[in-house]
Structures are given as structure tokens and as C-alpha cells.
Amino acid sequence: MQHYSGFGLVKHALSYHENWQRAWRNPTPKKKYDIVIVGGGGHGLATAYYLAKEHGITNVAVVEKGWLGGGNTARNTTIVRSNYLWDEAAWLYEHAMKLWEGLSQDLNYNVMYSQRGVMNLGHTLQDMRDIHRRVNANRLNGIDGEVLDVNQIQEIVPIMDLSRNTRYPVLGASWQPRGGVARHDAVAWGFARGADSRGVDMLQQTEVTGIRKNGNKVVGVETNRGFIAADTVGVVTAGNSGVLANMAGFKLPVESHPLQALVSEPMKPILDTVVMSNKVHGYVSQSDKGDLVIGAGIDGYNGYGQRGSYSTIEHTLQAIVEMFPIFSRVRMNRQWGGIVDTCPDACPIISATPVGGLFFNCGWGTGGFKATPGSGNVFAATLAAGKAHPLAAPFSIDRFISGKLIDEHGAAGVAH
């Protein structure tokens, strides 16, 4: 693998940047792998990377029906935070946060993780009680968090309308300074490059059409490029998890919904943090390119269409303009939808399944991006050992039978 550095940039400038090595190969599928990962998004690529790096398992294929990082990895609003209420979720997301903090160095790829802080606004007394509770829970778990009053918010975000005569006046906020945003594509590309250099095969435009079983044990996957054998298969297919589960012959406690986001025209720097509001239901940050990155809630109906309804966009922009009247004349550049796999308790599933050797990592719903490195890290450990990593164990599919749910709707169910 060619090492990226400032010196390398200068060196390649001398040859007009025409001799850069390809970031990853485009190999022909082998007949058999030790582990096949279905889904070449951020989570799947991170899984492959940590399998190779931390567990020395390199006879691995990532099978992707489109191109690497072309699904939700390319469609999210890139927010990273770990201020979750319950211990299990907080530990998992904090695990990811710690990996984020060293990720660019680890991957030798600039993922542009910018810890500009994440602010969650409270608009009602109950919001504020929940915020106090959540911040206290975070601090007990060693996760940074503060409760801000209106004056402190105004200092950080001068352009926000914090007057008392708005429809939903802001009463305070939780603040996680270590949170922020990252460059979504770079995360996928960095993991792909790191995994590829250790021998993992990235099989793009290879669609899984079936999961072959022998009795109740997985033996491989059928694809449009033929059968690929593997004793262990990890499925990381986000919105299409239900489709894959159907191929394997069981149901998941997951429903797929469209989730939309939009970006504005690029502007000069005006917002240097991430502002989220569950109550008025919108969140916004400004990318390094200068465009406002805006997101909101899912469409209520099941959908795989990668687009959403106009009423949801309208609702989102109402919320943004409510918080930032200064943005009322900003023109929107693009709008798109991704398909999120939502769980009843707004927490993911990282789990063995009724089929032996077949593991699922899904159900991240509206907030999977922030967990990308952590998700891959614990799922790699789970695949390597054949049993759940301690951080992943509470997220077993069995919790929907036992009733031991991890109810993160307060911290996670709405805004991500």
C-alpha cells in the first residue's frame, strides 16, 4: 500500500499526479473464503478491515451489489456523537468514538473527523429533564457532556433564534464537545484501502441473490457472479437486511424506511457546530465545502425507494427556519433519501441468527454512521470468535424475545 503523506503529495505533483497507485484492487471472486461479508458500506468495510488487522483473518471477501460506500454511507448527514442514555448503547457508541479519534492516523487516510461539538436542544421542561438525566448518565459512563443554558448556547451559536417569543422557545441544550462530523466517503474509502492492502477482496457489482444452507448451517452465498463458499457469513446490508433475512429463511424485528437529507448551496462559514433538535425535529451542520447539511425524520411508511415524501422535507425545513430564521432564504441544492432499517427499540442488532455461521449486523436505523468504526470492530471480533464481542452481546436478536430491550428512543429515536 502506498503511504499517503505531505511529502508524497509533493512527489506526485512532479509527475502531474498521474502515477498514484489505485486505492484497491478489483479482483475476480475466489471459490471459497473463510468469511464473506455481504455489504460494502462503511460498516461492512470496517468489519473487513478489523478482521484483517486485529484478528489476522485475511481470506475475506466483501460482496457489494453496487459500489463501495454507495448506499447509506454516502447518504447520511455525517454526525458523530456518543451521548446515549443506557449503558449498553453508550459503551458501544463511545467505543466507536474512541476509534474515530485516532482513525485518520490508523488508516493513513484523512477521514476529516472534526470534533466541532454536537448540541441537542431542549424546548420543553420535559426535554430539559431528559437532557439532565442523559448528560448525568453520560458523565457516569465517562462520556463528555454538559448542560447548557440559553446564554451559553447563544455564545456558541450566535445566529440561533433564542428569543422567548418563538413558537417553541429553546430552554437549554446538551453539549458533547467531542462529537462532530466526518467525511463520509473517506471513511468507506479508508477502510476499503486498509482492508485491501491486507489481502481482503472487494467484490463490487456482485449482488447476493441467495444464501445457501446445508441443513441449518450456512455454506456460502449465491451471487450474480456465481456461488461463493464460506463457513461464516456476516450480513451488513442496512436497509436491505430484511431482504437478506428472507433469503436465509427468517424474519427480523426491523422495518425499512426512507430517510431524507438535503444540502444547501455553499456559503461562507456561519455555523461551526452541529445543532440538533428532537422537538422541532431537524438537525443542521455546515460542511467544510460550505453547504448546510440538513436532516430530519424518517417517512412513516415502509419503503425501499431511496426517496421520501415532500411533506417530510417541508416539515424539516420548517424546523430549521424556526431555529435559524437567518437561513430562510438559503437555496437548497440537492435532496436525497436513503433506506434505514429501524428497530423497535432504536438500537442495532449485532447478533448470531437462527442459521449457523450466519451473523447479522443491522438495525442501526437513522444513526449508523457515527458507529461505523465501532460497529465494524465489534462485528469483526464476533465473526472471528463465532460468538458475540462483550460490547455486542446486549444487542443480540434474542432481546426481542426476552424483552430486554435497550430503549434509546429518547436519545436516538428521532434526531441523529
Partner 1 sequence: MLHIYCPHCAEYREEEEFRPKGEAHIARPVEPEATSDEDWGNYLFFRKNPRGLHHELWYHAAGCRKFFNITRDTVSYQIHETYKVGQQPSVTKQASSSKGAAK
Answer for the pair 119, 276: CB distance below 8 angstroms, yes or no.
Answer: yes
Minimum distance of partner 1 from residue 365's CB (angstroms) = 13
3-state secondary structure 137-181: HHHHCCCCCEEECHHHHHHHCCCCCCCCCCCCCCCEEEEECCCEE
**Cα dihedral 259/92/407/393 (nearest 10):** 120
How many other C-beta atoms lie within 10 A of the C-beta of residue 369? 25
For the CB of residue 345, give the shortest distance to partner 1 in the complex, in Å.
9
Number of residues that bind partner 1 (CB under 8 A): 24
- Subset of residues 368 to 407 that bind partner 1, contact rule: CB under 8 A: 400-403
Q: How far apart are CA 377 and CA 49, in angstroms?
A: 8
Q: Of 102 and 300, which has the nearer Cβ to partner 1?
A: 300
x-marked contacts with partner 1 along 306-345 as a string, rule CB under 8 A? ---xxx--------------------------------x-
Inter-residue contact 217 to 386 (CB < 8 Å):
no
User: Minimum distance between the CB of residue 400 and partner 1, rounded to whole angstroms?
Assistant: 4
Dist CA 277 CA 365 (whole Å) = 18
Member of 44, 172, 303, 376 binding partner 1 (CB under 8 A): 303
- Binding segment toward partner 1, per CB under 8 A, in 81-89, 178-186, 229-237, 298-306: 298-306
State how far the Cα of 44 lies from the Cα of 46, in Å rounded to an integer.
5
Diameter of the chain measured on Cα atoms: 67
Q: Tell me how far the alpha carbon of residue 390 is from its chain's centroid.
A: 20
Cα–Cα distance, 136 to 55 (Å, whole number): 36
C-alpha cell at 219: 455454506
With respect to partner 1, which residue has the nearer C-beta, 122 or 363? 363
Site membership for partner 1, residue 355 (CB under 8 A): no
Instruction: State how far the Cα of 192 lies from the Cα of 50, in Å rounded to an integer.
Output: 11
Of 210 and 300, the one with the shorter C-beta distance to partner 1 is 300
Out of 1, 163, 169, 301, the only residue in the binding site for partner 1 (CB under 8 A) is 301
Q: Minimal distance in Å, beta carbon 240 to partner 1?
A: 7
Do 181 and 172 form a contact (C-beta atoms < 8 A)?
A: no
Mask for 258-297, x = binds partner 1 (CB under 8 A): ----------------------------------------
Smallest distance from partner 1 to CB 249, Å: 13
CA dihedral 242, 201, 79, 345 (to 10 degrees): 30
The residue among 8 and 354 lying less far from partner 1, judged by its C-beta, is 354
**Nearer residue to partner 1 within complex by CB, 253 or 290:** 253
Shortest separation between residue 227's beta carbon and partner 1, angstroms: 22
Cβ at position 318, least distance to partner 1 in Å? 13
- Residue placing its CB nearer to partner 1 in the complex, 67 or 304: 304
Characterise 371 by phi-psi region: left (phi > 0), alpha (psi -120 to 50), beta (else). alpha
Q: Which is nearer to partner 1, 71 or 303 (CB)?
A: 303
Q: Distance (Å, rounded) from C-alpha 117 to C-alpha 126?
A: 23
Q: Note whether 304 binds partner 1 by CB under 8 A.
A: yes
Instruction: Give the per-residue contact string, 220-259, with partner 1 (x = CB under 8 A; - = no).
Output: --------------------x-xx--x----xxxxxx---
- State how far the Cα of 283 lies from the Cα of 273, in Å rounded to an integer: 11
Residue 65 vs 184, nearer CB to partner 1: 65
Min CB(130)–partner 1 separation in Å: 24
CB of 27 to partner 1, least distance (A): 29
Shortest Cβ 351–partner 1 spacing (Å)? 13
Which one, 23 or 349, has the nearer CB to partner 1?
349
Q: For the residues of 288-355, what is the DSSP string, one character each? A: TTSEEEEEEEEPSS---SS---HHHHHHHHHHHHHH-GGGTTPPEEEEEEEEEEE-TTS--EEEE-SS
Query: How many other C-beta atoms are found inside a 10 Å radius of the C-beta of residue 307?
Result: 13
Give the residues lining the site for partner 1 (CB under 8 A).
240, 242-243, 246, 251-256, 300-305, 309-311, 344, 400-403
